[in-house]
Amino acid sequence: MIELKDNVLRQHLNTSPKLIVIFGAEWCPTCQILKEKIKVIEKNGSEYEFLYIDGDKFEALADDYYIVKYPTMINFINGGETRRKEGSNIKKLIN
């Protein structure tokens, strides 16, 4: 999982055909659980790339995507949003 360090989400959307963007926060326990779930998914192999964005550090970006709850996961295929899910049940998003 990649953690966004600067505002380059568009670059990831342009280069990753299947991308799941997770908006979370350091203080959010559900977000930390989700990070661990993603590590397991990546270890087992996934066709998706995962990008974690700390919504507290990138508030304007979270606002641009109308994030109101953490965690929120957004599925992008070829740069376009296809689905979104709040909470930590990532399997509903990738299956």
Q: What is the pLDDT of residues 25-69, one digit of tens each?
A: 999 999 999 999 999 988 888 899 999 999 999 999 999 999 999
Indicate which CATH number applies to the domain containing 38: 3.40.30.10
Parent domain of 16? 2-94
* Global pTM value: 0.87
What is residue 79's DSSP assignment?
A: T
Cα–Cα distance measured from residue 52 to residue 85, given in angstroms and rounded to the nearest whole number: 14
Residue 35's identity, in one-letter code, is K
| Number of domains into which the chain is organized | 1
23 touches 50 (CB < 8 A): no
| pLDDT tens string 61-94 | 999 999 999 999 999 999 999 999 998 777 777 7
Residue with tokens 């399997």: 91
